[in-house]
Amino acid sequence: MATASGVSSGPVLQLPSLRVGGRSSAFRGVSSGPVLQLPSLRVGGRSSAFRVPAKSLLPRRTAAGVPAGNFFVKNDVVYNGRNYHHFLPLKQRGGLQAAVLPVTPPILDDEGKRKQMAEDYGFSQIGEQLPDSVTLKDVMDTLPKEVFEIDDIKAWTSVLISVTSYALGLFFIAKAPWYLLPLAWAWTGTAATGFFVIGHDCAHKSFSRNKLVEDIVGTLAFMPLIYPYEPWRFKHDRHHAKTNMLIEDTAWQPVWQKEIESSPVLRKAIIFGYGPIRPWMSIAHWLIWHFDLNKFRQNEVPRVKISLACVFAFMAIGWPLIILKTGLAGWFKFWFMPWMVYHFWMSTFTMVHHTAPHIPFKSSEEWNAAQAQLNGTVHCNYPRWIEILCHDINVHVPHHISPRIPSYNLRAAYDSIKQNWGKYVNEANWNWRLMKTILTRCHVYDKERYYVPFDELTPEESQPIKFLRKFMPDYA
């Protein structure tokens, strides 16, 4: 039996006698060709003649661009009581050669591959890898100084836009027949997201030169959303300092394999949470991160308590007033449904800004600030009315280069980034394929592949993911 040639590292499986089967095209992502069926292999059991590290036997993505006619080995691996299909590429050079090949991350310096990835993932552009030598300061120094300037008129105009559009939405809800209520909720919830963006600017000290004004406006803007301003501000600062850093980023984290192996109940909850209900997972983030005093430093706790008191005051006074005036159905109609739309945008913006199969989470030892903020942040275009009501929060790359840029200057800053660093930028137009990619592929952390989908690791329990793959539109 010949061994694989040209493989510098990784375990090599000595394969038993192989028999060539018939042609098959049932394997997703694998070019059609003869398939060699290996007998089942049990890892770590007593019957095994040798031990192979479990990680090396987890599913691996077949290399892109494999020409039709190549041979593939289908190997059934049993690990932790579950079956995995493991495809091994074979080269036909007068004999069969096989190996477990280490999988490398997407090759971002290949223009053709980037274009293909962009089409597959629903992007309009996937940028090149930023060189390691480039620092975040290098990028920031190319921005015009005027994009950092605070304009009080523009800042308060954004407040006027949000208040007016939100009031218009409430009027629309009050007057709309039942069949138009979804449109009224969509508008009102999107307008409420504008309140969040105003508070977001206040938290980054880019709303006013008066810091007391920023604290007051930020707290008031967050109150109708029952979002505690100071707890969010403390955690959000960490998100900017540690964007896409494993464990440290407080916006969100990929799932760890040990989490989905911990218990069946938790596994099902995680699969639903990172699958069908992911556009509302910011509700779980809101609950987990912002109300537990133990998650904050001692010097932060007094300000956290003030914000919590404001939120609870709104719930204790605002909610009863709504119910008194409109009934419980009115509370659901005027407050709860717009609040759910707001959380849809919170979750969606967060997902789209930092999640894609080619954008990695890295450990603190490997993390690079400039790459995380420029390569690891996505610019996504939305329908213009959404961008107006949400104050251009979708123009997110410059915001991660410097959070001190006010929202009304983000477009000018991005124009500058496009001129100087355009080939490194990730861009998309919000579309079904983009959302489908995130919801069905970006699940469990893997250092080599970045993400492993749930249905590769737990196929029997991943019906929600399979449902999304089958029924979500693929339009880009």
Across 35-39, 119-123, 244-248, 449-453, least confident range: 35-39
Query: Between 378 and 25, whose confidence is greater?
Result: 378
Please provide the DSSP assignment of 421-435 as one string: HGGG-EEEE--HHHH
Determine contact, residues 62/42, Cβ cutoff 8 Å. Answer: no
3-state secondary structure of 150: coil
Give residue 381's pLDDT: 98
* Residue 70, CA distances (Å) to 27, 73, 96, 98 in order: 13, 10, 11, 12
Give residue 109's pLDDT: 74
Q: Please give the share of the chain, as a percent, with pLDDT higher than 70.
A: 78
Nearest to 443 by CA among 426, 455, 460: 455
Sign (positive or negative) of CA dihedral 92, 93, 99, 100: negative
- The number of beta carbons lying within 10 Å of the beta carbon of residue 245 is 21
d(C-alpha 222, C-alpha 197), whole Å: 9
66: confidence class by pLDDT, cuts 50, 70, 90: very low
Q: Quick one: how far is CA 160 from the chain centroid?
A: 31
Tokens of 301: 């706790």
Sequence-separated (6 or more) residues with CB below 8 Å from residue 133? none
Give residue 307's pLDDT: 97
Give residue 262's pLDDT: 86
Tokens of 318: 């605002």
d(C-alpha 171, C-alpha 187), whole Å: 11
Q: Is the pLDDT of residue 67 over 90?
A: no
For the chain, the average pLDDT equals: 83
DSSP 13: -
Nearest to 377 by CA among 209, 189, 249, 191: 249
Tokens of 274: 């990172």
Determine contact, residues 33/23, Cβ cutoff 8 Å. Answer: yes
Q: Enumerate the β-bridge partners of residue 446.
A: 450
Q: Please give the share of the chain, as a percent, with pLDDT higher than 90.
A: 75
Give residue 140's pLDDT: 97
Q: Quick one: how far is CA 297 from the chain centroid?
A: 27
Give residue 44's pLDDT: 41
Give residue 292's pLDDT: 95
d(C-alpha 185, C-alpha 191), whole Å: 10
Q: Is the pLDDT of residue 64 over 50?
A: no
What number is the average pLDDT over the span 386-398? Answer: 98
Q: Is the pLDDT of residue 340 over 80?
A: yes
**Predicted confidence (pLDDT) per residue in 165-205, tens digit:** 999 999 999 999 999 999 999 999 999 999 999 999 999 99
Strands 450-452, 444-446: pairing kind: antiparallel
Q: Enumerate the β-bridge partners of residue 77.
A: 41, 84
What number is the average pLDDT over the span 50-63? Answer: 37
158: confidence class by pLDDT, cuts 50, 70, 90: very high
422: confidence class by pLDDT, cuts 50, 70, 90: very high
Largest CA distance in the chain: 83
476: confidence class by pLDDT, cuts 50, 70, 90: confident
**Predicted confidence (pLDDT) per residue in 220-261, tens digit:** 999 999 999 999 999 999 999 999 999 999 998 999 999 988
Q: Is the pLDDT of residue 92 over 60?
A: no
**Predicted confidence (pLDDT) per residue in 277-298, tens digit:** 999 999 999 999 999 999 999 9
Strands 20-24, 33-37: pairing kind: antiparallel
What number is the average pLDDT over the span 91-105? Answer: 34
3-state secondary structure of 311: helix
107: confidence class by pLDDT, cuts 50, 70, 90: low
Across 85-89, 104-108, 146-150, 162-166, least confident range: 85-89
Using CB atoms within 10 Å of the CB of residue 323, give its burial: 0 to 12 exposed, 13 to 18 middle, 19+ buried: middle
Across 4-8, 187-191, 395-399, 470-474, least confident range: 4-8
Using CB atoms within 10 Å of the CB of residue 238, give its burial: 0 to 12 exposed, 13 to 18 middle, 19+ buried: middle
d(C-alpha 298, C-alpha 284), whole Å: 24
Determine contact, residues 196/225, Cβ cutoff 8 Å. Answer: yes
Q: Which residue has the tokens 């912002």?
A: 290
* Residue 467, CA distances (Å) to 191, 260, 344, 434 in order: 32, 19, 20, 16
What number is the average pLDDT over the span 365-375? Answer: 96
Q: Is the pLDDT of residue 47 over 90?
A: no
Determine contact, residues 355/438, Cβ cutoff 8 Å. Answer: yes
d(C-alpha 40, C-alpha 42), whole Å: 7
Nearest to 454 by CA among 470, 463, 445, 443: 443
- Helices (H), ranges, 180-300: 181-203, 211-222, 229-241, 257-260, 264-273, 282-290
Give residue 441's pLDDT: 95
Determine contact, residues 440/453, Cβ cutoff 8 Å. Answer: yes
